[in-house]
Structure 1
Amino acid sequence: MTKSMMYSYLTGIFCVLIIISNILATKTLKIGLIMLPCSILVFPILFIINDILSEIYGFAMTRNVIFLGFVLNIIAVVLFSIAIMLPSNSPSADAFATILGTTPRLFIAGLLSYLISNMINSQIMVKLKEKYYNLLFVRCITSTAVGETIDSVVFITTAFYGVFSTELIITMICCQAVFKVLYEFIIYPFTRYIIHYIRELDDGELENMI
């Protein structure tokens, strides 16, 4: 195992989770009086991988992964839309369209929130590393808190402004942001372990990838 191999694995996992999160978002998760999209189960993992990539490989290589996920997300939605429009005699055609279909507004909201929040998360992680190298916990939590909050603000505002009341939109933003940061907090020991594990690996072909 080398750092270049780990970069490939993390890139693959990151991109797969992007596609999965879009599908999970079609179902809501109810916790008491709080309603959240089921994509919240995997979306925080994207920011954890973002932290790992930023910490080990820097902003430029992390940005490449973010852009790749962005492009693959668009390709997946386009292919889903084409498949929905094609004639079919399948009894599950309506269910297929319901699960994998998306409105232009939600599609744009998802793309914007993903791209902006992940870029900012990576930049903060790298910038803080220059001054606070030994404070990994602080850097991970801070970058994730900012990135996840921006993601929630951009997505929910873009997707639901004018549809839901301002009070409900603010509640949804706060609930999602808090849940995602708590997720990062709980799983931090695993994040820390992966970062320290990769640090000890040989570079492999990493220099040729930069």
Structure 2
Amino acid sequence: MNASHPDTLAAVDAAQLSGRPLRYFDFMMAAFVTILLLSNVLGAGKVAIIDLPGIGPWPFGAGILFFPIGYVLGDVLTEVYGYARARRCIWAGTAAMLFMALMSYVVVALPPAPDWTGQAAYEAVFGQVPRIVIASICAFWAGEFVNSFVMAKMKVWSKGDHLWMRTIGSTIAGQGVDSLIFYPLAFWGAAGWTNALVLKVLATQWILKVSWEVILTPLTYLVVGFLKKREGVDIYDQSTDFTPFATKI
């Protein structure tokens, strides 16, 4: 029995569901948006350090703690619930990021009370650089849609077999687009960033993200198997409208 396509499940075209509610979809959407916001609020602004045996102190962005979870959730949404529902989650995440960026700007800009001494610390945490915010949102939107599109198409082509091939292949494409948009848009020509450094970081982050997907493949299998069994269907996007500019399911 293929772990990505259990024999006991009914294979259905996504269009046949006609908006039918699925037991765990709302929870998956909430988890996806939560991880997305946490990665930008808690993870993006801190550089941590770990002492690696034989290597010594090694700095890393705290956001790496959230990336693996986000990868699993993004792939699971398309694999289990289909492109249309994943598309709705991507739009929900994009709207949440835009609202968070707007409110961060407003709250930081509010005049602090004379006896409040936390303004500098607040600005350091929430005073995001507009260029980086725009780059992050654009890269997320495009990368997630490419990831979901490739995964949904590969599922149809492979007839539901080889989940590992779909998760890794979609990540190579999606995170490639994400990195190609984010790093040049955020740092090309910025102070302290040479063109060579931008390209080096771009390639390094892309390789690391794909490597994370490979490492987490067993976890993805477990989550996908659990959810498909509970939902009782295996969804294929055979007649799905793949436009990203819609939220209909």
- Settle same-fold status: TM greater than 0.5: yes
Give % identity: 26
Q: Give me the whole-angstrom Cα distance separating, in 2, the residues matched to 1:152 and 1:121.
A: 13
Which residue in the other structure is 1:7 paired with? 25
Deviation (angstroms), 1:29: 4.6
Runs of 4+ aligned structure 1 residues displaced above 6 Å come to: 31-35
Number of residue pairs matched? 205
Cα contact 1:48–1:191 (8 A) shared by 2:
yes
Letter in 2 for 1:80: S
Q: Give me the whole-angstrom Cα distance separating, in 2, the residues matched to 1:151 and 1:180.
A: 11
168, 189, 197: which is aligned to 1:162?
189
170, 189, 205: which is aligned to 2:218?
189
RMSD over aligned Cα atoms: 2.2
101, 106, 111: which is aligned to 1:87?
111
Deviation (angstroms), 1:47: 2.6
Q: Gaps (5+ residues) in structure 2?
A: 1-20, 234-247
Which residue in the other structure is 1:20 paired with? 38
Q: Give me the whole-angstrom Cα distance separating, in 1, the residues matched to 2:120 and 2:104.
A: 13
Q: Give me the whole-angstrom Cα distance separating, in 1, the residues matched to 2:130 and 2:58.
A: 26
Deviation (angstroms), 1:46: 1.9
Q: Give me the whole-angstrom Cα distance separating, in 2, the residues matched to 1:202 and 1:151.
A: 31
Letter in 1 for 2:39: S
Question: Greater CA radius of gyration, 1 or 2?
Answer: 2
Q: Give me the whole-angstrom Cα distance separating, in 1, the residues matched to 2:150 and 2:32.
A: 19
Map 1:80-159; keep pairs closer than 5 Å.
80-89=104-113, 90-132=116-158, 133-159=160-186
Q: Give me the whole-angstrom Cα distance separating, in 2, the residues matched to 1:150 and 1:35.
A: 25
Cα contact 1:36–1:176 (8 A) shared by 2:
no
**1:46 aligned onto 2:70:** yes
Q: Give me the whole-angstrom Cα distance separating, in 2, the residues matched to 1:37 and 1:138.
A: 28
1:99/1:189 CA distance change after superposition, 3 Å: same
209, 212, 215: which is aligned to 1:180?
209
Greater percentage in helix = 1
Q: Give me the whole-angstrom Cα distance separating, in 1, the residues matched to 2:37 and 2:64.
A: 13
Q: Gaps (5+ residues) in structure 1?
A: none
Q: Deviations over 1:59-91 (max 9, x none)?
A: 111000000000011111111111111122322
Q: Give me the whole-angstrom Cα distance separating, in 2, the residues matched to 1:9 and 1:135.
A: 26
Greater percentage in strand = 2
**TM-score, normalised with respect to structure 2:** 0.76
1:168/1:138 CA distance change after superposition, 3 Å: same
- Secondary structure in structure 2 of the residue aligned to 1:4: coil
- Secondary structure in structure 1 of the residue aligned to 2:216: helix
